[in-house]
Amino acid sequence: MEMKNITISDIAEALNLSRSTIDRVINNRGSVAKETQKKVLDYIEKNDYKPNRAAKHLAKMTNCTIGISYYLPEKFAAQIKTGIEDVYQELKGYGLNLIIKEASSFAEQIDQIKEMKSKVDGLMVAPWSPKKTNSLINKFIEDKIPVVTFNRDAPESNRLFYFGCDYFKAGRISGELIKKITLTAGKIAIISNDDDLVGKSRVQGFYSILKENTFHQIIGPFTVYDHFGISDAYTQKDVNYIKKIIEDNPDLKAFYVVNQSLYLVARVVKEMGKKDQIKVIGFDLFDNFIPFLEEEVIDAVICQEPYSQGYFPVKILFEILVEDREVEKSEFITRLEVVLKENLNYYHNYHYL
């Protein structure tokens, strides 16, 4: 309704001062007498003045460019991009510009970041190799260009904050889940590939839950490269490898798969008709996992809010850049989402804006 908010001019008029003085007090720029300061502050308190954010944006001609760099599995990136797209739609009208660079190798990512240096006011990066990106990140920081990480952290750099998953905790909840759904004693096979940092944490977290558990015996890790999840890329050899694990271990009760080869494992489990005997758990929601979740060949996947990983870092970084927002946390850890057949549809390309 017409609950007209009071403005700086209103205050000025009421106190017989000029707008400039009020402005000085509000944004404490100094050069104002103690008494007047107090008078103004009191008035503001009493009449609950709210600065008009629109007018602020306008006057400041807020206009900033955020660079985004990542080297991630295509389908996963797509989910993050949905979040980026939404926040862009929301904030472009307030002066947000984006430069998005998708790398197809780590070397390329480094080059792309370097190239952005002169073009952006802030950087948001998912460093493929954190250790090898630290110094580059720090260079940005030295030049007063804020950097935040998402999806993958570079904790040893001077980035402002990390927005993403705690992969160790992700491993723990998988452990809890497998404990809860695996009905009888037996073996659990871990599938991973050893040059995968993320997978390594997921395995460690898993161990941390299951180590005191004598009910299950953990075998592996068995190495399966996930070919970035491309269904066709798996060879008969890959299939046989999984098959052999199943055949060699008649008391196998579950697969714990930390990379995208979850698709392969599910396929083999299904083909061998082992769906009811062997539980399958993995991570993230890729298109080729969906049918297996629907048939309950895959019992559950743990997700990590990919949408939010795109949406929030941009939003927060924008506020830092144009409104001097102070960030209180150095880590924003995304929720660990347990996705089963019946809530699957809420996690597959699902968002509100």
The residue ranges that bind a second copy (CB under 8 A) are 1-5, 50-58, 62-65, 92-95, 97, 119-121, 169, 172-173, 175-177, 180-181, 183-184, 209, 299, 308, 312, 315-316, 332-343, 346-347, 350, 352-353
CA-based nearest residue to 202, from 292, 297, 336, 76: 336
Task: Report the residue number, 32 or 78, with the smaller CB distance to DNA.
Answer: 32
Give yes or no for a contact between 227 and 204, defined as CB atoms under 8 angstroms apart. no
55 or 233: CB nearest DNA: 55
User: Omega before 221 cis (within 30°)?
Assistant: yes
Residues 59-78, interacting with DNA (CB under 7 A): 59-61
Least distance from a second copy to the Cβ atom of residue 173, Å: 4
Residue 58 interacts with DNA (CB under 7 A)?
yes
Report how far apart, in Å, the C-alpha atoms of 248 and of each of 100, 149, 245 are. 47, 43, 5
Shortest gap between Cβ of 39 and DNA (angstroms)? 9
Strands 300-303 and 337-339: antiparallel
Do 296 and 274 contact (CB within 8 A), yes or no?
Answer: no
**Binding site partner of 148, from a second copy, DNA, none, Cβ cut-off 5-8 A by kind:** none
Q: Looking at beta carbons only, is 83 or 229 nearer to a second copy?
A: 83
Does 1 help bind DNA (rule: CB under 7 A)? no
Site size for DNA (CB under 7 A): 31
Q: Binds 78, which of DNA, a second copy, none (CB < 5 to 8 A, cut-off by type)?
A: none
183 binds, among a second copy, DNA, none (CB under 5 to 8 A by kind): a second copy
Q: How far apart are CA 232 and CA 206, in angstroms?
A: 29
Q: Where are the beta strands (DSSP E) in 112-238?
A: 122-126, 147-150, 162-164, 186-192, 216-223
Best CA proximity match to 69, nearest among 154, 174, 181, 3: 154
Matching residue, tokens 């996705």: 339
Distance CA 34, CA 37 (A): 5
Q: In the complex with a second copy, which residue's Cβ is closer, 37 or 208?
A: 208
Find which of DNA, a second copy, none residue 176 binds, CB within 5 to 8 Å per kind.
Answer: a second copy
Q: Could you tell me which stretch among 11-19, 189-197, 296-304, 313-321 binds DNA (CB under 7 A)?
A: 11-19
Alpha-carbon span 203 to 145, nearest angstrom:
35
Stretch that binds DNA, among 20-28, 119-127, 173-181, 235-243 (CB under 7 A): 20-28
